Amino acid sequence: MAELSQAHVLIIATDGFEQAELFEPRKALLDAGVKVTLAAPKMDPIQGMEHDQKGQTITPDMTLDTVDTEDYTALLLPGGVANPDALRMDDRAVEIVEEFADDGKLIAAICHAPWLLIEADVVDGRRMTSWPSLRTDLANAGADVVDEEVVRDGPFITSRKPDDIPAFNKAILQALQEDLDDQEADQEDTADA
């Protein structure tokens, strides 16, 4: 079984992220030994929200324009309303989602974050969930929308809201482990060939 410490997850966010949806998955990943990097449009601290109240801030590790998606195993997209709404207007943020999707890498999006998946045009034919107000947008973009705590369809994991975070975190860690185990098995097969 591969070690989760071999995984490297990129989180992209900006002001207005839902605090629990960034901090709790980030902590679960770090606690499991996963390397985590936070990228934002600028290096200034970004403002979290607890629903409609300002929460904690966090300082990004790097800017979006310095991200090389080849360096990462998976992408995590926290929600909040303002955060994904701003990021879907950021060309580099959308490109990052497209690059992860093109490479078949794991993308986990919660709450309003599927807006970025819609903008990157990667939801057509995929089974997904989101915050209720996005479901029509997802359906219009071709997704098969369901109301479930966590949904995994290939490399995509989606969840609805902060209450779903425990299931969301579990699904991400499980998917990372499966991906790493598959890679390890492929390397062993290549070595044996």
pLDDT at 50 over 90: yes
Q: Catalytic amino acids?
A: 111-112
pLDDT tens, residue by residue, 3-45: 999 999 999 999 999 999 999 999 999 999 999 999 999 999 9
- Higher-pLDDT residue of 187 and 44 is 44
List Cα–Cα distances, 40 to 115, 129, 141, 173, in angstroms: 17, 24, 26, 23
Model confidence pLDDT, tens digit, residues 85-107: 999 999 999 999 999 999 999 99
What's the pTM value of the predicted model, to 2 decimals?
0.96
More confident residue, 174 or 183: 174
Quick one: tokens of 193?
């060939």
